[in-house]
Amino acid sequence: MSSIDQVGIQIALTQARKSFNEGGIPIGCSLISVNGAILGAGHNQRIQKSSPTLHGEIAALEDAGRLKAGVYRDAMIYTTLSPCSMCTGAILLYKIPRVVIGENKTFSMGGEDLLRSHGVEVVVLDNEECKKLMAKFISEKPGEWNEDIGE
Amino acid sequence: MSSIDQVGIQIALTQARKSFNEGGIPIGCSLISVNGAILGAGHNQRIQKSSPTLHGEIAALEDAGRLKAGVYRDAMIYTTLSPCSMCTGAILLYKIPRVVIGENKTFSMGGEDLLRSHGVEVVVLDNEECKKLMAKFISEKPGEWNEDIGE
Ligand SMILES: [Ca+2]
Ligand SMILES: [Ca+2]
Ligand SMILES: [Zn+2]
Ligand SMILES: [Zn+2]
């Protein structure tokens, strides 16, 4: 893994841990420029902000704020969990060319295939801590998790 | 058009007009239960809140707040403009079964086809006021509009 990838996934994991420690859904995300600049980071805010749309990816995009189209096209998204259809659509909207995913065992809505079909590079790390955080959260709060994925 | 559809699109249009009058992108949305209850409404907040993700649909879902899965499955989205990939993905995430679109001449990212392929009912009204508001905004602020659609 490149050093930029290591930084990107570590920021995402730090956000996921922070959310877990707040009692929230432990999914974190970072938006990193291809040259390594940290553009934004965030975590799921369903529980903390009663938000149905601030998934990790959306929260990271919000943290980054308004950016010119070219900035997204030179950026990468790091997310601890495979993106849902909304977050997949956000990545396609802004034409972010590369997505690094901590794990896709806990959840996958088919976003990876849709991203690849649009030419996005998708890397799945199968990271143990990403899986453990989710397993712990889901065993403690299954209702909140189902709500987050529309189930 | 049913009376619920009339109410739904009028709330979306009222939101779009409000955003236009604030100097913002004139796209509005409402989330309405199939029995006619108004669950939420909102408009694009790129300019007003410097937000890259609060499109009309996302703002309406945020306004509705946390809902159980069954509420979304008995709800309809009314939006003044054809949904982008992010908002299309949000509709699919929450399995909202019906989407009424004011117009799709100004913009379409293929969201309607993706929705239909997942069994969502899509109705396009070709509403003149929806088109006029967008035409006026885009002629005045083309840069902000391009930014909103990742161009
Ligand atoms: Ca912001
Ligand atoms: Ca809220
Ligand atoms: Zn998501
Ligand atoms: Zn949108």
pLDDT (tens, 9 = 90+) of chain A, 151 residues, equals 899 999 999 999 999 999 999 999 999 999 999 999 999 999 999 999 999 999 999 999 999 999 999 999 999 999 999 999 999 999 999 999 999 999 999 999 899 999 999 999 999 999 999 999 999 999 999 999 999 999 9
Quick one: tokens of B41?
Answer: 């409404």
**A50 burial level (CB within 10 Å; 0-12, 13-18, 19+):** exposed
Beta-carbon contacts of residue A117 (< 8 Å; ≥ 6 apart): none
Instruction: Name the residue among B46, B66, B147 with its Cβ closest to that of A52.
Output: B66
Neighbours of A142 (CB within 10 A): 11
Q: Give the pLDDT confidence of B27-44 residue by residue, as tens digits.
A: 999 999 999 999 999 999
B8: left (phi over 0), alpha (psi -120 to 50) or beta: alpha
C-alpha A84 to ligand 3 mean position (Å): 4
**Sign of the alpha-carbon torsion through A77, A79, A82, A84:** negative
Best of B50, B53, B62 to disrupt the A interface (most A CBs within 10 Å) is: B53
Q: In B82-130, which ranges are E strands?
A: 98-103, 121-124
On whether the CB atoms of residues B77 and A79 are closer than 8 A, the answer is no
Beta-carbon contacts of residue A70 (< 8 Å; ≥ 6 apart): none
- Contacts A–B by Cβ distance under 8 A: 90
Instruction: Name the residue among B66, B92, B146 with its Cβ closest to that of A50.
Output: B66
B64: left (phi over 0), alpha (psi -120 to 50) or beta: alpha
CB contact under 8 A, A50 and B58: no
Query: B140 has which bridge partners?
Result: none
A50: left (phi over 0), alpha (psi -120 to 50) or beta: left
